[in-house]
Amino acid sequence: MLSLLPSPAQGIFGLLLFYGPVAVALFTFGSFAIAGQTLTPAKAYTALALFSLLRFPMSFLPMLVTMIVNALVAIKRIQGFLIRDEASLEKVRVRVC
């Protein structure tokens, strides 16, 4: 049965999708100021323009992480299946009515 409520993974994905670029800009400006550099309007507007260009590629990062985790889970399952011993046909008894 499908649930209409979002899962925690979907919530984290949405959070990263919408607030990721803002957090990157704030972190970058904060790091720049902590390093003792002067943040001028020209530098800030240039950085914001570059962050705007990076917004679309950065939106795919959460999807990429999800796909990598799904691939690792699939590889573990396939590995577990391939490592198992083969079942013998002699142990299988078929009862015909």
Span 31-52, pLDDT tens digits: 999 999 999 999 999 999 998 8
Using DSSP, state whether 3 is helix, strand or coil: coil
Measured between alpha carbons, how far is 74 from 70 in angstroms, rounded to an integer?
Answer: 6
What is the model's pLDDT at position 70?
Answer: 92
For the chain, give the mean pLDDT: 82
Higher pLDDT, 94 or 67: 67
CA distances from 8 to 27, 29, 59 (A): 25, 30, 18
pLDDT band at 2 (very low <50, low <70, confident <90, very high): very low
* Entry pTM: 0.48
Share of the chain above pLDDT 70, in %: 81
Q: Which of the 8 DSSP states describes residue 91?
A: G
- What are the structure tokens assigned to 30, written together? 């904060």
With beta carbons less than 8 A apart as the criterion, state whether 17 and 61 touch. Answer: no
